[in-house]
Amino acid sequence: MLQLDKLKHQDSNNFFLMAGPCAIEGEDIALRIAEKIMGITDKLKIPFIFKGSYRKANRSKGSSFTGIGDEKALKILEKIGHTFDVPTVTDIHESGEAAMAAAYVDVLQIPAFLCRQTDLLIAAAQTGKVVNVKKGQFLSAASMKFAVDKIIDSGNNKVILTDRGNTFGYQDLIVDYRGLPEMQRFGVPVVMDCTHSLQQPNQTSGVTGGKPELIATIAKAAIAVGADGLFIETHPDPANAKSDGANMLNLALLEDLLVKLIRVRQAVV
């Protein structure tokens, strides 16, 4: 079982990393991405949680890719966890999905749009798994205390909060870094989502845009502020990814970015 107090590597006091593709597209590519990230994070002594959505429920267009099948994708996540001895995280969207997903992964993630859904938070908490709640784009950092309280009051104190920016007009987001230390006051690890915070939602095409060239900027600032962890969606070929390719980091750029982030971390601790 994943222990939150072990996410920081004792030798390096590094941030931890939640990373992987937006969605599970297939076994081969998921395993290749996991193996690549695992090699990098092992070398850099960065605690790593593999991320992959077994299903994408929040899509603008009805024709958008949503997944390869729940059980098939969850079994791939389970295989990655066993193959690489790494914890895994995936999103859930309804309270009925919590127990199903918990049978395969270590961390249940609550999407930002659903962070106030009481039944969903309680169902996730009752699995006993770590629960990562993404802060709603429409909420202040202070408001996330109520999400934390719902989970803890359900008998589960294993909570992570993830910031993914704030709504700024109709088609943009902005990051308020004051929110990271504010949420840390709740006594839980706080993560910066460096890719979704650069989304450009609600495009007229029905496909979300993004600004991946700014991922390093968001990540460096988050580490400088003192984020406990980073969330980065990454893919070897973002342009041809089946989901959220517009704001994912090219996998070939991950190692160089993490090396630079370790230097920032060392400068501020």
> Model confidence at 29, in pLDDT bands (50, 70, 90)?
very high
3-state secondary structure the chain: CCCHHHCCCCCCCCCEEEEECCECCCHHHHHHHHHHHHHHHHHHCCCEEEECECCCCCCCCCCCCCCCCHHHHHHHHHHHHHHHCCCEEEECCCHHHHHHHHCCCCEEEECHHHCCCHHHHHHHHHCCCEEEEECCCCCCCHHHHHHHHHHHHCCCCCEEEEECCEECCCCCEECCCCHHHHHHCCCCCEEEECCHHHEECCCCCCCCEECHHHHHHHHHHHHHHCCCEEEEEEECCHHHCCCCHHHCEEHHHHHHHHHHHHHHHHHHC
Map out the domains of the chain with their CATH numbers: 4-268 (3.20.20.70)
Stretch among 5-14, 23-32, 89-98, 128-137 having the lowest mean pLDDT: 5-14
> What's the pLDDT tens digit per position in 100-140?
999 999 999 999 999 999 999 999 999 999 999 999 999 99
Mean pLDDT in residue range 92-100: 97
pLDDT score recorded for residue 63:
52
Average pLDDT over residues 234-252: 90
Does pLDDT of 33 surpass 90? yes
Residues 181-221: pLDDT tens digits?
A: 999 999 999 999 999 999 776 554 545 567 889 999 999 99
At 246 the pLDDT is: 82
Instruction: Tell me, yes or no, if the pTM score tops 0.85.
Output: yes
